[in-house]
Amino acid sequence: MRAHHWIATGPNGIADFQFVESEVAEPGPGEVTITVQASGVNPADLKHPGRATVFPVSIGYEVAGTITALGPETEIASGGGAIGDAVLAFRVTGGWASILTVPADTVFARPQNLGAAQAANLLLVATTAADLLRVAKVESGETVVVFGASGSVGVSLLQIARSRGIRVVGVCSANRVDEVARFGGVAIERGQAPSELAERIALAAADPIAAVFDASGRDDDIAAALAVAGNHDRMVTIVGTDVAKDAGFQFIGGVAPENAAYRASVRAELIDMAARGDLVVPVSETFVLRQALDALDLVSSGRAGGKVALVPDSNDV
Ligand SMILES: NC(=O)c1ccc[n+]([C@@H]2O[C@H](COP(=O)([O-])OP(=O)(O)OC[C@H]3O[C@@H](n4cnc5c(N)ncnc54)[C@H](OP(=O)(O)O)[C@@H]3O)[C@@H](O)[C@H]2O)c1
């Protein structure tokens, strides 16, 4: 069986991305072949090949689709699994594909209330958001501040925090205030100067600020964060700019063993939350798989206004 997929042949960004066709591996023991209905798009799809040393890199960390084949004596992570079942998979390699074979322990039954585009975009951001709360040891009743709260990780964090009784002050652009409020955050739009922003955050928080999270990577956000952070041991960034690191933010990623293990362990809980309707995935746009570079352009701009999905069409299989 042949399928199309995206690879990066070098570290030079979109210029090195190629849409290629190759043979799909038959699933061995502990593997599952998925016919993809949607692939998630994340900023990491562009950033990570830029840091790679071995090429080609297969692009895409998450998909939703149906099971096409299972290896011998193989069950998916949520148990069972049969040809035709609707599933989602994370964290996979090469998810920007029409068909792919993945480890069965990345594959979960897809809740009926989740469309393919939502399911394909649920877990990378939600596991990251849950990891931020874990690393900063945030407990029910505490108040935290999230910079970049209207983004995809931010919106997941707002919902997970709400379900755990954690209060979130969310900093965002003026046109994204409604989105932060929709998911239970106390929305604060950026102002002119970091000091003025810090004052408004402190006023809105009212309670002591237990932790601050950087999901925007903006220097002005880091300056405001430093001004409001009560405990500098609980400042965490997922963007990891030099400015944030120099300011004392802890940088977390999905590859370090502790973070990877936690993010894998929390997937089932987050899928259950989504099945109950307590964790929704706002999808702003879909592109056909062949047009993935347009999707990546949009996502990398930080202006997608929601998650973006890739959908294979009949020419891609
Ligand atoms: N380390 C990890 O494990 C990990 C995991 C997932 C994502 N990330 C990183 O975390 C960041 C957020 O990811 P995401 O999926 O939430 O992205 P996203 O959906 O694009 O959200 C980012 C938000 O940041 C704000 N922003 C402000 N200025 C920006 C700028 N110059 N460029 C981009 N965004 C800007 C935007 O909201 P406003 O306009 O309202 O400010 C935007 O909605 C990305 O840098 C991503 O690479 C890291």
Rounded (to 5) percent helix, strand, coil in the chain: 35, 25, 35
**Best mutation site among 152, 213, 216, 299 for ligand 1 pocket (most ligand atoms within 8 Å of CB):** 216
Whether residue 257 is contained in a domain is answered as no
Nearest C-alpha neighbor of 39 from the set 142, 141, 109, 116: 116
Residues 134, 227 share a domain: yes
- List all residues whose CB is within 6 A of at least one atom of ligand 1: 42-44, 47, 125, 128, 148, 150-154, 172-173, 176, 215-218, 238-239, 252-254, 302, 304
Looking at every residue in the chain, the average pLDDT score rounds to: 96
Whether residue 269 is contained in a domain is answered as no
> Is pLDDT above 80 for 247?
yes
- Kind and range of the H or E element at 285? strand 283-288
Q: What are 154's strand-pairing partners?
A: none
Residue found under tokens 């996502």:
299
What CATH code is carried by the domain that includes residue 41? 3.90.180.10
pTM here is 0.97
Residues 138, 79 share a domain: no
Residues 143, 244 share a domain: yes
Residues 242, 132 share a domain: yes
Torsion from C-alpha of 202, 204, 207, 211, nearest 10 degrees: -60
C-alpha of 211 from chain center: 20
Whether residue 286 is contained in a domain is answered as yes
Per-residue pLDDT at 317: 65
Report CA(149)–ligand 1 centroid distance (Å).
9
Range of the domain at 171: 124-251
Residues 182, 195 share a domain: yes
Residues 184, 118 share a domain: no
> Is pLDDT above 80 for 42?
yes
Ligand 1 atom having least distance to the Cα of 175: 40
H-type alpha helices, the chain: 44-51, 116-119, 123-135, 152-163, 177-182, 194-205, 219-228, 242-246, 257-265, 267-276, 292-300
Residue pair 124/62 in contact (Cβ under 8 Å)? The answer is yes
Q: Which residues, in sequence order, are CB contacts of 180 under 8 Å at separation 6+?
A: 149, 150, 154, 155, 158, 170, 172, 186, 187
Integer Cα distance of 126 and 265 in angstroms: 12
Q: Which residue CA neighbors atom 8 of ligand 1 most closely?
A: 238
pLDDT band at 231 (very low <50, low <70, confident <90, very high): confident
Residues 169, 56 share a domain: no
**Best mutation site among 48, 91, 124, 153 for ligand 1 pocket (most ligand atoms within 8 Å of CB):** 153
What is the total count of domains within the chain?
2
Integer Cα distance of 143 and 168 in angstroms: 6
Report CA(31)–ligand 1 centroid distance (Å).
32
> Is pLDDT above 90 for 193?
no
At residue 37, the 3 state secondary structure works out as strand
pLDDT band at 229 (very low <50, low <70, confident <90, very high): confident
Residue pair 171/179 in contact (Cβ under 8 Å)? The answer is no
At residue 288, the 3 state secondary structure works out as strand
pLDDT band at 315 (very low <50, low <70, confident <90, very high): confident
> Is pLDDT above 90 for 192?
no
Per-residue pLDDT at 1: 87
Q: What are 109's strand-pairing partners?
A: 87
Residues 46, 13 share a domain: yes
Residues 60, 14 share a domain: yes
Report CA(216)–ligand 1 centroid distance (Å).
5
What CATH code is carried by the domain that includes residue 131? 3.40.50.720
Q: Which residues, in sequence order, are CB contacts of 41 under 8 Å at separation 6+?
A: 121, 292, 295, 296, 299, 307, 308, 309, 310
Residues 235, 129 share a domain: yes
At residue 212, the 3 state secondary structure works out as strand
Integer Cα distance of 33 and 85 in angstroms: 11
Residue pair 87/64 in contact (Cβ under 8 Å)? The answer is yes
